[in-house]
Structures are given as C-alpha cells and as structure tokens.
Amino acid sequence: MQAPPRPKTIGHFINGAHDAPGDSGRFGDVYDPARGEVQARVAFADDATVDRAVRAARTALPGWSRTPLGKRSDVMFAMRELVKKHSLDLAKLVSSEHGKIVNDAEGEVARALEVIDFACALPHALKGQFSEGVSRNVDTYSIRQPVGVCAGITPFNFPMMVPAWMFAVAVAAGNTFILKPSERDPSASLLIADLFKQAGLPDGVFNVVHGDKVAVNALLTHPGIDAVSFVGSTPIARYIYETAAANGKRVQALGGAKNHMVVMPDADMGLAADAVVSAAYGSAGQRCMAISASVTVGDAAEPFLAAVKERIAKIKVGAGHDRSNDMGPVVTAQARARILDLIEQGVRAGATLAVDGRGLQVSGLDDGFFVGPTLFDRVTPEMSIYTEEIFGPVLVNLRAASLEDALGIIARNPYGNGTSIFTRSGAAAHKFQSDVEVGMVGINVPIPVPVGYYSFGGWKNSLFGDLHVYGEEGFRFYTRGKVVTSRWDEPAAGLNLGFPTHK
Ligand code: NAD
C-alpha cells in the first residue's frame, strides 16, 4: 500500500528569502476546517530562528530608516497595487485555512488595503512641528524617528487584516518588522512577504517567523527587538504586555472582547435584526468586533428576537470556498468542542435556548468543525455564556429595563472593545456615545471598526497599553519623538551660567 502524501510544509521568510522547509524541529498542523483534515504543517521557530530574523531586521534598519520619505512611499504605493491585484488570492488563502467564506475574506483584504492606503501618506503622517523664535534666534522643532525593529504577533481570526494594521504603518514609518502570525492560518503572511519583495522593499525589512509560544517568548525577550504589537485573547495580551515591558520594549497589546448591542424599543427592528445576525454569525462569530451579546431595552425583546430568529433560519452554513454559503466552520476541533461545552453550560444555567446550533450537519462535510447559529435569551450577567468570550456563532440576549440599566451591564463587563446602539432617538444615541465605557462605538452600525485613517482599540481588558493601532496613533506608536532646540546666531553670545529662559 502506498503511504499517504505528506502535507506541504510552510516555512519562515527571513531576509528576503523563504527558508527551505527542513525535517527537523517542531511543526504544527494547519487544518482545512470545512473538512476537518490537516492540509499542511507549519514550521515552529526556535530561539535560533528568531535570532536570525532579528539580525536580518537589524541589519536592514539603517538603510530603510534613512530611505527618503518619497521612496518609502513609492514602495507602499507599489505594495498597495499588488495587494489589490492579489486580493482574491489572499482571500482564498485566508478562507482555506481559517474557514470563513471567500466573500468575507475579501472584506478582510479590503479593510487591510485601507490601512495600506493610509500608510502611503507617510510623508504627511511623519511631519513634525516647528516653532520659530522661541527665544532670540532660537527655534524649536520636533521630529519623529522610527522605533527600530518591531515585532507583530497576530491572531487567527484576521490573518490578513490584523497584520496589515501593524506592518503597513511600522514599515512606512521606517522600521523593520518581524511578523509572527497565527500558527493556525500562516499562509497569507508569506504571500504578503512575496508582494512586499515585488514592491521593492529591501531584504530584511519584512520577515515572517512562524510558531507558538516558544517563538513569541524569543521575540519578547530578544534584546534586538524594540517594540511589540500584539492582537489576540486577553490572557495572552496581558502576558505579552507585562513580559515585553519588563524586557524594556514599547508595547501595545489588544485583547479579547464581549461586544454588546443595545436595542431600544424605538429601533427599526428589521434593521437591528439584520445588523445583529450579520455581526453575530458572520465569520462564525470569530471576530473581535462580533456582536456576542444583545441587550434589549424594555419591550424591544419580543419583536427583536422574533425578527432575529426569522433571519437565523435562513443562514446557509457550509465550506468557505462556496460563495453561496453565509457562514463557515469554526477554526479547529478544539474551538468547536469548547463552544459546544459553553452552550451546554448555558442550558444548565437556565438560559432559554431559543435557537440550538448543536448537531448541525453539513452534507458531505461530516468531519468539518461546524457549529450552527445559536441564540440564547434571558441570559444573566453571572452565566458563563456571558462572562466568557465564546468566539463562536452564539448570541446571548440580556433584558434591561432602561438605557441606564443597559449601560450599567456594559460598564460592569471587563471587556470594552466595541459596542453599538440601535435607536431612532438622537438623545439616546448621544447619551450612549458619551457614557459607554468602550473604545469603539456604533450608532445604528453593528461593527464599528474605524476606517484606516482613524485608529482601532478598545478599553479595559481589550487593550493593554495606551496607543491604538493604525491611523495617527499607529504612527505615534511606531515612532519616537525628538525635540530640537537650535540657535543660529551671530557669534559672541557671551558667557551666562544661569538656567536658560525664553526671554
Ligand atoms: P490567541 O491569544 O490564542 O493567539 C494570538 C497569538 O498569540 C498567536 O500568534 C499565538 O501563536 C500566540 N499565543 C497563543 N498562546 C500563547 C502563549 N501561551 N504564549 C505566547 N504566545 C501565545 O488568540 P487567537 O485564538 O489566535 O485569536 C482570537 C482572540 O483574539 C480572541 O480573543 C479575539 O477577541 C482576539 N482578537 C482581538 C482583536 C482586537 O482588536 N482586540 C482582534 C482580533 C482578535
């Protein structure tokens, strides 16, 4: 009998070249989540591999950081065109390893492009300030310079968009970059590396190392890394923040979420139901900005939930490559088992299981990691289906007596990534936007991911660090400020040992 073919091996990209996939070292499995089969294996970097990437990035740093702004901008523009041209290739890669529907993956690529677009304007973003005549013949001006070698550690759920939040701005700002993408869907990062090379980015400026916590720890402790950006779950975000900071690095670490959507009794229930179903079940609920908890106010619950159930019944679940499907599988068998267990916990805790997605079978894909759309009502804040980030196609509904009550529920939740309100009342919307304890707010918009020229970030346990990613705050994170005070004067200023003043 012939041995089954070995799955392909996905390797690192260091100093402008793909590593030849070796046979030694550690590897992880990459699945086709719709079939439940291993489709590839990915090399896991050890300390030596990470060190090689850091050395490449450090060597490339002086050249890239001193490359004129216009030339750096040219590379970013070329990259923008290449990503646009390869949008479908990127989306298909994402879909095949993550499981999301190709259309959804195309949306992710489009949002990544938005950040690359923004980064093309780097000469504008890097402008400093100038004050002429702060004293006689003395001027003061500020400049922003690259931080150095930056690392980005990213989650599985947006293998194109989240890395772009980081690398587009970091590279545009003159840094060199090492991406450690999720080991569950690593392939998009390698196409990004190829496209950057084609765009004219010098070798060593953008590198990819794959792996698990061994690779991450090597990055967090390596003296050659200056800044770390992380996006992922809250326990790991906290660990990254503490460890990277303890090792003297600048760090921003974005964590998990439980995003609430408040539905006021005056809302357009059709609009609100469309919004919540798209936001809760799109990408099988595996979005950091997914709506995972609706909060109905007063008598909004009955009409809203009836409209939601009607829409859930129409969701078509299947493989990601088939554009006629609405929702794909979850990423791994472990994720599926965890979600099913949480649903069971919700039932045992006494929540009303209004739609049960357990037991969903997709024809011809018996081993796929599918969970059907699930809806709970009459959920209370102490239930685990509310306290845990389920990260699957499960929406929980809580009932609140008033807007104040709804705001209190959100304020007591430890996460603060995104939130939204559906209402026809300007007064309610205004109160919500100013009182809610969350970093990104939607008004009649369910997934308020800011456009590329604003910045993305949550509050509370959804972000450790102060600066958000991309936009203006991204450029601040990836640059260091320097302030110059200069005097160009005729000679003979005279000796003065007093402390300098401005007058
Ligand atoms: P994760 O935290 O498991 O993994 C994220 C990254 O950390 C991966 O690269 C992984 O290899 C690495 N990692 C995992 N365990 C580690 C450990 N013990 N030590 C060091 N590194 C480790 O997250 P995930 O499951 O890939 O992604 C889903 C999570 O990401 C959800 O919690 C979601 O809310 C969150 N997320 C947040 C945002 C945001 O903007 N706030 C965006 C996307 C995803």
String of DSSP letters for 412-444: HSSEESEEEEE-S-HHHHHHHHHH---SEEEES
Ligand 1 touching residue 40 (CB < 6 A):
no
Residue 401: what pLDDT? 98
Q: Which residue has the higher pLDDT, 493 or 93?
A: 93
Q: Is the pLDDT of residue 445 over 90?
A: yes
Which residue's alpha carbon is nearest to atom 43 within ligand 1?
288
Cα separation, 298 vs 134, whole angstroms: 60
Backbone angles phi, psi at 142, to 5 degrees: -115, 145
Q: Can you give the length of the chain in residues?
A: 503
For ligand 1, mutation pick of 158, 161, 212 (most atoms within 8 Å of CB): 212
Q: Is 288 among the catalytic positions?
A: yes
| pLDDT at residue 503 in the model | 61
3-state secondary structure of 315: coil
pLDDT score at 251: 98
Q: What is the pLDDT of residue 121?
A: 97
CA-nearest residue, atom 22 of ligand 1: 213
Buried b (16+ CB within 10 A) or exposed e, 397-430: bbbbeebeebbebbeebebbbbbbbbbeeeebbe
Residue 477's closest CA among 240, 228, 248? 228
d(CA 370, CA 156) in angstroms, rounded, equals 17
For residue 306, pLDDT beyond 70:
yes
Q: Separation of 231 CA from ligand 1 center, angstroms?
A: 6
Which amino acid is present at 271? L
Return the pLDDT at 489. Answer: 81
Question: How far apart are alpha carbons 118 and 167 in whole angstroms?
Answer: 12
Tell me, yes or no, if the pTM score tops 0.85. Answer: yes
Out of 162, 185, 233, mutate this one to test ligand 1's pocket (max ligand atoms within 8 Å of CB): namely: 233
- Confidence band for 211, pLDDT divided at 50, 70 and 90: very high
Sign of CA dihedral 177, 210, 240, 234: positive
Between vectors from CA 76 to CA 17 and to CA 224, what angle results, nearest 5°? 55
Q: What is the per-residue pLDDT for 496?
A: 81
Task: Give yes or no for residue 182 CB within 6 A of ligand 1.
Answer: yes
Percent of the chain predicted with pLDDT > 90:
94
Query: Is residue 214 over pLDDT 80?
Result: yes
Q: What pLDDT, in 10s, does the model give residues 71-85?
A: 999 999 999 999 999
Q: Which whole number is the average pLDDT over 155-162?
A: 98
Residue 440 pLDDT greater than 70, yes or no: yes
Residue 499 pLDDT grade (very low, low, confident, very high; cuts 50, 70, 90): confident
Distance CA 39, CA 238 (A): 32
Which residue blocks in 318-440 are alpha helix, DSSP H?
A: 333-349, 384-387, 403-412, 426-435
Report the C-alpha gap between 222 and 423 in whole angstroms.
50
pLDDT score, position 459: 97
- What is the mean predicted confidence (pLDDT) over 93-114? 98
CA of 182 to the centre of ligand 1 (A): 8
Q: How far apart are CA 140 and CA 457, in angstroms?
A: 32
Q: Is 157 in the pocket of ligand 1 (CB under 6 A)?
A: yes
Q: Indicate whether residue 254 lines ligand 1 (CB < 6 A).
A: yes
Of ligand 1's atoms, which has the minimum distance to the CA of residue 211?
Answer: 11
How large is the average pLDDT for residues 247-259? 98
Q: Ligand 1, atom 15: nearest CA belongs to which residue?
A: 213
pLDDT single digits (tens) 104-147: 999 999 999 999 999 999 999 999 999 999 999 999 999 999 99
Per-residue burial over 256-274, b if 16 or more Cβ lie within 10 Å, else e, is bbbbbbbbbbebebeebbe
pLDDT at residue 494, as a whole number: 74
Burial of 503 (0-12, 13-18, 19+ CB in 10 A): exposed
| pLDDT of the residue at 501 | 75
Q: Which residue has the tokens 């390698």?
A: 190
The residues with which 459 forms a beta bridge, in sequence order, are 416
Query: Probe ligand 1: pick from 182, 369, 388, max atoms within 8 Å of CB?
Result: 182
CA–CA distance, 442 with 259 (Å, rounded to integer): 11
Give the 3-state secondary structure of residue 14: strand
In this predicted structure, what is the pLDDT of residue 40?
97
211 lines ligand 1 (CB under 6 A): no
CB of 161 within 6 A of ligand 1: the answer is no
**CA distances to 55, 207, 391 from 47, in Å:** 12, 15, 31
Cα 116 to ligand 1 centre (Å): 23
Does residue 5 register a pLDDT over 90? no
Q: What is the pLDDT of residue 497?
A: 85
Q: Which residue has the tokens 């964590």?
A: 255
Catalytic option among 178, 218, 273, 288: 288
The rounded Å distance from CA 154 to ligand 1 centre is 6
Distances (CA, A) of 424 to 306, 307, 444: 20, 18, 9
Q: Quick one: which H or E segment has residue 293?
A: strand 291-297
**Three-state DSSP state, 38:** strand
Q: Taking residues 432-456, what's their average pLDDT? A: 97
- Return all residues near 390 (Cβ < 8 A) that are at least 6 apart: 285, 292, 339, 342
Ligand 1: residue of 100, 157, 459 to mutate (most ligand atoms within 8 A of CB) is: 157
Question: Closest ligand 1 atom, CA of 233?
Answer: 32
Nearest to 49, CA basis, from 171, 224, 211: 211
Judged against a pLDDT cut of 90, whether residue 326 lies above it is answered with yes
**Cβ(33)–Cβ(95) under 8 Å?**
no
Q: Rg of the Cα trace of the chain?
A: 25
CA of 430 to the centre of ligand 1 (A): 33
What value does the mean pLDDT take over residues 210-217? 98
Structural domains of the chain ordered from first start: 8-255+462-485 (3.40.605.10), 259-443 (3.40.309.10)
